[in-house]
Chains A and B, each alone.
Chain A
Amino acid sequence: MKLYFKFVAMQLKCQMQYKASFFMMALGQFLVSFTAFLSIFFLFTRFHTVQDYSFSEILICFSVILTSFSLTECFVRGFDVFPRLIQSGNLDRILVRPRGEIFQVLTSTIEFSRVGRFLQAAAMLIYAIPASGIAWTPDKIFTLLLMLIGGIAVFSGLFILYAALSFFTIEGLEFMNIFTDGSREFGRYPLSVYGEGILKFYTYIIPIALFQYYPFLYLIGRSDDFRLSLLPLLGFLFVIPCYAFFRFGLRHYQSTGS
């Protein structure tokens, strides 16, 4: 853990060499998700509700997705840029060092400019918490926290899966965007709005709904079943097959160069 912070300090030192670039990037990140917020806002001025969810309820959903995604992205970015790590041959360097591969990949890239996206998410959350009209009893606060943590777990799993796939195909990786970026984009709304089939897909295949939809129902009082709020914990199980697949890919690693 101490070593992790040393890596963080090192990355921070490197990125602060280019301050102007850093702030522009952070601002850009902020703006990207801000236009997403605006589009939801405008759609709601026209339609008022979607499947009887109100604007502030949607905001809760959106901010949960965006907070967990941006935090994951900030610290698990090493897996996001993993194809580059393979192509540049830097994975070789990681493999000749006496530390876990996962740890070293995590510390190879930490992108602080993603803080822009996180600030946006946090601002929405702060606005939506009182505006949603939810009575914030301890169990609801607990649910919200679990949602965020579960989200980080599932997104980490997705990023690891993405990295694992890049051992086999670099070209085909764009497909994974449906699951990583797609989950972030479409997860702004409770996944039930897309219909039964999609909800099932996001429950059993890519378990986004486990931390987004089901506990959300409990949070906004559509369901009294407290068990729903524990579902995000199941999201942690998702990391296991992803990690196993990553190990499998590592054994098939071909390395680059002569």
Chain B
Amino acid sequence: MIELRHIQKTFRVSRRSAGLSQAVKSLFRREYETVNALQDVSFTIRDGEMVGYIGPNGAGKSSTIKIMSGVLTPDGGECTINGRVPWKERTAHVREIGVVFGQRSQLWWDVPVIDSFELIRDIYRVDSQAYHKTLSRLTELLQIGEIVKTPARQLSLGQRMRCEIAASLLHNPKILFLDEPTIGLDAVSKLAVRDFIRAINRENGTTVILTTHDMQDIEALTERILLIGKGRILLDGSLSDLKARNSSHKTLTVAYEGGVLPSWEEITVKENKEGRAVLSVDTRTLSISEAISRISAAVGVKDISVTGESIDELVVSLYQEFAI
């Protein structure tokens, strides 16, 4: 059980301006700016949930993750995870969590991955029987049996990320924080990582909190989304709620010959040239079948396809809606 209430965090950054005279002035006086990374963040996550934490760059995603993992101390608010305050009982708390920072490595660069695993086992004081059980399961699920004997520096990004994830799970944590786990990976590795996360959540009941910019990750993995912007939680709901709320618009792509597309009140023409048109229909005012029959009455339709709003567009429209 993760509970955050009114968490706040501010950073102080110095401001630097251009030009020689400004630079000389700043030798003696410097101005500081206070950045409210987190203004008021509250949410609750139950055991075994899988939550996508999304928001644009600089919205405060990583700061929240770092507070929940005991790295940062917030300026205000409360946070309890499994009954503990992360930054107060750091060592006890981190024993129960696993963290993957997508852009950084926790493996020792110059030695075989398996050596790193063994050291991590000792750091977490995992007993040898449990370690072997977990390790064989992880190597099988992540298909890293072949590569654990290679030094980390010789691995490809995808191979290394799979090893990183394994390293974060060797101590069987109850909660797993993934900070952009699929960043920079190729399609195959992405799918492997997603499959694995799903499996670990379903079979072990591990709570997973995932930050990402890859909306396919969200779509493939999470039921619940937390949207953060400008240091506040803007939206907390299930993915299907979100879709229902925003997907009243359908996109029609039409290839046609002969005739001219007239303009209707209920259909917006987004693009129309050389016999190919992209139209948007608001299904609350006009049904899809009605729209299609109107179009085929006006022009000779060669091909037609109907798509809902993609999750990427959904998120962009959310950002616009909240002006972040």
Contacts and interface: CB of A to CB of B under 8 A. Distances in A.
Consider the complex of A and B and state whether they touch directly, i.e. have CB atoms less than 8 Å apart.
Answer: yes
B90 interface: yes
A91 B71 CA distance: 8
Given A13-B115, A255-B72, A93 B104 contact: yes
A92 B92 contact: no
A166 to B, nearest CB: 16
B99 interface: yes
B91 interface: yes
Contacts of A254: 11, 72
Interface string A78-116: 000000000011111101111110000000000000000
B172 to A, nearest CB: 13
Contact of A98 (B72, B73, B94): B94
Interface string B57-85: 11001110010011111000000000000
A246 B314 CA distance: 46
A91 B90 CA distance: 14
B69 A95 contact: yes
Contacts of A98: 91-92, 94-95, 123-125
Interface string A213-245: 000000000000000000000000000000000
Interface stretch (A3-11, A23-31, A125-133, A152-160): A3-11
Contacts, number: 73
Contacts of B192: none
Given A6-B119, A14-B111, A258-B62, A96 B57 contact: no
A115 B87 CA distance: 38
A17 interface: yes
A4 B285 CA distance: 70
Contact of B108 (A10, A89, A95, A253): A10
Interface residues of B, number: 34
A98 to B, nearest CB: 4
Interface residues of A, number: 27
A100 B111 contact: no
A2 B103 CA distance: 31
A59 B51 CA distance: 65
A172 interface: no
B91 A10 contact: no
Contacts of B58: 258
Given A14-B109, A14-B110, A253-B71, A6 B122 contact: yes
B228 to A, nearest CB: 12
Interface in B112-136: 115, 119, 122-125
Given A13-B111, A251-B73, A97 B94 contact: yes
Nearest to A257: B62
A172 to B, nearest CB: 12
B119 A7 contact: yes
A92 B63 CA distance: 11
A251 B123 CA distance: 23
A95 B70 contact: yes
Interface of B: 11, 57-58, 61-63, 66, 69-73, 87, 90-92, 94-95, 97, 99, 101, 103-104, 106, 108-111, 115, 119, 122-125
23 contacts: A3-B123, A7-B119, A14-B110, A14-B111, A89-B104, A92-B66, A95-B69, A95-B71, A96-B69, A96-B70, A96-B71, A96-B94, A97-B124, A100-B91, A251-B73, A254-B72, A255-B63, A255-B66, A255-B71, A255-B72, A257-B62, A258-B57, A258-B58
Given A10-B111, A96-B70, A252-B73, 8 more contacts: A3-B123, A92-B66, A92-B104, A93-B101, A96-B94, A97-B124, A98-B92, A258-B61
